Structure 1
Amino acid sequence: MASRGAAIVQELQKFTTCDVSDALCKLGRRRGGFLPGLTMWSPQRQDGPTRIVGPAYTVKYVPLDDPAPKHPTHYIDSVPAGAVVFISCPPRTANAVYGGLMSARARARGAVGSVVDGRFRDLHEQRELNYPIFARDVGTAPPGPVLKVSAVDVPVKLQQGDADADADDIEVRPGDYLIGDVNGVVVLPAELAEPALPLMRRQVEADDRMAAAIRDGMSFVEASAKFRG
């Protein structure tokens, strides 16, 4: 990871996914970078202080009959240190596309967590590893009978869920920053990281002052006008 990228990751670790989304909304991203449908499964289910931050290392699964050739090597052996592994797969895939051995190798490579836009398996192993997993759901069957990896480190589109009609407009690109915590997962485009960081700082400072004023009896409207402007 380049030194500037490492500095950005260090700064992002100070903020929640909500802080990142607030800044992205101010920069014109109406959805705030939120990746709907992805929640924390490990090391705990939607609980605890777990937070992951890192550049995306993307993996694209496609159906076996897709004309794209199968990726020649296993993607897990090329995960960069400090990365968040992002696994993309076709919608409504019942088979899991990620398992415990993948996390063991990812951890050995220095990855900080994995985000699975689909199902994963071996939940007990993930938790034994204390490895962060964000995903749509769990499963049991491996991907081999129905899917193959066609590409690594390419832009991928988020699955479209039943309640997420516009999710197919959301893209995760290699090197974009992925931030995950108990609130969910947010993608921060690499080119927006530097302009977003000062917005996050100002927002958090304003909200801290606003919270203190509300605790002291000030109304929400008054506090918002005074500290948010």
Structure 2
Amino acid sequence: MKAPSAVVEPLDDDVFENLARASIATLATQLYRRGIRQPVLVGLTPVGDGFDGFVGEAFTMRFIPSREDVDPLDDPYRTGNTLQWEAVENVGPRQVLVVDSRSDVSAASAGDMLVTRAMKRGAAAFVTDGALRDGHEIGQLGFPAYSRAITATTRPASFHVADLQVPIGCAGVAVYPGDVLVGDRNGIIVVPRALAPEIAGPAAEQEELEAYLHTRVRAGESLWGVYPPSAETVAEYDAWKAARGAADREEVAS
């Protein structure tokens, strides 16, 4: 069975660049303002510390429980169920392999070999709401991988790969092929594809504003009027930003 293809309109590069400038907390706020209440893959954590985060489009994989007559113990890799390999060999640059493991950590969604191959294919990340195998080895890759747990138990012991590139649930969040996932050291958020261009610019601007506000709170100022910012604080931020831009231009000119 070949991996189905999802037809989606391409997103501009600046959408990815601006989303990458924002934390998942900032993106959650932007989505909340647009009625998306819970887009975070709660409980998933980075494997290793050799990366800061990622942005990419969802390439989905759905697991169901394995069954003895379909997934025999004597030859689990030669039953014709090659969808896991199809996924890894079809994922491309700026795509994220997202696995619906039903939040079941009784066996691994993948191990070092498959994650390494996805990395070599140019994937942006590997994400599962289940477990990964070879956690130490994956952690040494410096590649964005996230899971709920680490286990040595092989995938066929618990799971059968049922579908690729179909809508899934991952950590309780609906993920459609082509949705944009953004990860940082705090976790992962799912941005509905149609909203990605709308929130990318505002999210990058909010991130810059909040970095400015954070310096003021760290300097000892009260939250009142600073966070959330009053009109006066926003005006002060605009003036600070304009002055910084002028200084940068002057430095380039010199």
TM more than 0.5 = yes
Aligned 8 A contact 2:18 2:201 in 1? no
Which of residues 96, 100, 105 in structure 1 aligns to 2:112?
100
Match of 1:186 in 2: 189
Distance 1:51 1:92, change over 3 A: closer
Match of 2:251 in 1: none
Distance 1:95 1:21, change over 3 A: same
Which of residues 3, 22, 31 in structure 2 aligns to 1:15?
22
Match of 1:28 in 2: 35
1:194 Cα shift? 1.4
Aligned 8 A contact 1:63 1:90 in 2? no
Please show how residues 52-201 of structure 1 align to structure 2 within 5 Å. 52-65=54-67, 72-73=82-83, 74=85, 75-159=87-171, 167=172, 170-201=173-204
Match of 1:207 in 2: 210
Aligned 8 A contact 1:57 1:84 in 2? yes
1:19 Cα shift? 1.6
Unpaired segments ≥5 residues, structure 2:
1-7, 71-78, 236-254
| 1:221 aligned counterpart, secondary structure | coil
Give the stretch that moved more between structures: 69-78 or 191-200: 69-78
| 2:11 aligned counterpart, secondary structure | helix
Q: Deviations over 1:129-170 (max 9, x none)?
A: 2222110000001111331111111111124xxxxxxx3xx2
CA distance in 2, matches of 1:219, 1:38: 34
Aligned 8 A contact 2:106 2:158 in 1? no
1:215 Cα shift? 4.3
Distance 1:38 1:70, change over 3 A: farther
Give the stretch that moved more between structures: 117-126 or 58-67: 58-67
Unpaired segments ≥5 residues, structure 1:
160-166
User: Alignment identity in percent?
Assistant: 25
Letter in 2 for 1:152: L
CA distance in 2, matches of 1:151, 1:49: 29
| 1:22 aligned counterpart, secondary structure | helix
Distance 1:228 1:67, change over 3 A: farther
Match of 2:225 in 1: 222
Distance 1:148 1:228, change over 3 A: farther
Distance 1:108 1:214, change over 3 A: closer
Distance 1:228 1:141, change over 3 A: farther
Tell me the TM-score normalized by structure 2.
Answer: 0.75
Q: CA RMSD in A?
A: 2.7
Distance 1:49 1:143, change over 3 A: closer
Aligned 8 A contact 2:107 2:153 in 1? yes
1:205 Cα shift? 3.4
Letter in 2 for 1:63: P
Letter in 2 for 1:206: L
| 1:98 aligned counterpart, secondary structure | coil
Corresponding residue pairs, total: 215
Who wins on radius of gyration, i.e. which is larger? 2
Aligned 8 A contact 2:102 2:169 in 1? no
1:216 Cα shift? 4.8
Letter in 1 for 2:47: W
1:3 Cα shift? 5.4
Distance 1:81 1:217, change over 3 A: closer
Letter in 2 for 1:149: V
